[in-house]
């Protein structure tokens, strides 16, 4: 029923967009968005290869789960407008970038978590120009449900994050809906995110009778995760349905 309502709205949106091809209702679309330009020498002191690896991994592994077609972008095409224009149609969303639990535009103490778009070639991220707020995402999702959301960023997996709600995922660990949100609660190295997500996806895609929660526990259990310091231990977190297997629909 939720998906039927979603595609009714989709049809209306498609009909109102001249020149925009409608996505068939049978599609279980997914997006992978990766910021690469902010992980280069001018910004972090070296050229990281992790963004390209994580983009390829997310597209391939979400595809194996059944998210198809996979879209999104790596690099300069990961813009706020592109993200917000495409997210409505998705069943699954992956983003690897910088993130934090920023104060809302109205000011403290209200939190409006956000992620940063790719800054473009030769630039480093700036909150003032690159922020994609969870409130903007929530507006773009128009109340539609999402199955699998992975925010491969710092902080938006923490208890005060508003990012799960942008995708209509309640911050509980006993949801009855087909939904799973994965994030990281503290400052996190992308090498550790890559290691965790590789284990998570490989466990989940080895047998679709397994659940995303089981894959989370497996990935957490392999250990070997680097962290910036003792104040920021590697802290992945999840919310959603512990019995959901990550497959769209």
**Residue 92 β-bridge partners:** 30, 148
Count of domains observed in the chain: 1
Q: What is the CATH number of the domain that holds 188?
A: 3.40.50.1460
Residue 247 lies in a domain: no
Residue 11 lies in a domain: no
User: Which pLDDT belongs to residue 23?
Assistant: 55
The confidence band for 26, taking pLDDT boundaries of 50, 70 and 90, is low
Residues 6+ positions from 115 with CB-CB distance below 8 Å: 95, 97, 98, 99, 131, 132, 151, 153, 156, 163
* Burial (0-12, 13-18, 19+ Cβ within 10 Å), 126: exposed
Residue 213 lies in a domain: yes
Kind of pairing, strands 99-100 and 70-74?
A: unpaired
Q: Which tens digits make up the pLDDT trace of 215-235?
A: 999 999 999 999 999 999 999
Q: Which tens digits make up the pLDDT trace of 153-205?
A: 999 999 999 999 999 999 999 999 999 999 999 999 999 999 999 999 999 99
Residue 27 lies in a domain: yes
Residue 150: give the domain boundaries: 23-240
Residue 192 lies in a domain: yes
Residue 31 lies in a domain: yes
Q: In this model, does residue 25 exceed pLDDT 60?
A: no
Q: How far apart are CA 88 and CA 20, in angstroms?
A: 14
The pTM (predicted TM-score) of the whole model is: 0.92
Residue 151 lies in a domain: yes
Residue 1 lies in a domain: no
Percent of the chain with pLDDT over 90: 89
- Write the DSSP string, the chain: -HHHHHHHHHHHHHHHSTTPPPPPTT-B-EEEEE--GGGSHHHHSS--SHHHHHHHHHHHHHHHHT-BSEEEEEGGG--HHHHHHHGGG-SEEEEES-EE-PBPTT-TT-B--EEE----TT----HHHHEEEHHHHHHHHTT---SEEEEESSSTTSTT--HHHHTT--S-S---SS-EEEEESS---HHHHHHHHHHHHHHHHH-TTS-HHHHHHHHHHT-----SSTTS---EEEEE-TT--S---
Mutual orientation of helices 190-206 and 212-221 as an angle, nearest 10°? Answer: 130
């Amino acid at each position: 029923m939720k998906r039927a309502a979603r595609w009714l709205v989709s049809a209306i949106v498609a009909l109102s967009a001249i020149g925009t091809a409608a996505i068939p209702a049978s599609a279980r679309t997914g997006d992978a968005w990766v910021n690469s330009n902010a992980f280069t020498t001018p910004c972090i002191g070296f050229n990281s290869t992790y963004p390209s690896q994580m983009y390829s991994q997310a597209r391939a592994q979400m595809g194996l789960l059944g998210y198809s077609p996979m879209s999104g972008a790596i690099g300069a095409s990961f813009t706020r407008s592109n993200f917000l224009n495409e997210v409505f149609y998705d069943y699954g969303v992956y983003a690897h970038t910088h993130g934090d639990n920023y104060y809302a535009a109205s000011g403290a103490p209200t939190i409006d978590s956000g992620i940063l778009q790719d800054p473009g070639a030769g630039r480093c991220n700036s909150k003032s120009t690159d922020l994609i707020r969870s409130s903007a995402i929530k507006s773009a999702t128009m109340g539609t449900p999402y199955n699998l959301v992975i925010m491969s960023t710092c902080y938006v997996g923490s208890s005060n994050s508003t990012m799960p709600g942008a995708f209509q995922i309640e911050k509980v660990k006993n949801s009855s809906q087909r939904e799973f949100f994965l994030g990281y609660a503290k400052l996190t190295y992308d090498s550790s995110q890559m290691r965790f997500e590789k284990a998570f996806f490989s466990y989940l895609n080895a047998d679709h009778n397994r659940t995303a929660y089981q894959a989370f526990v497996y990935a957490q259990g392999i250990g070997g995760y680097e962290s910036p310091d003792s104040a920021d231990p590697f802290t992945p977190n999840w919310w959603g349905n512990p019995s959901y297997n990550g497959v769209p629909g």
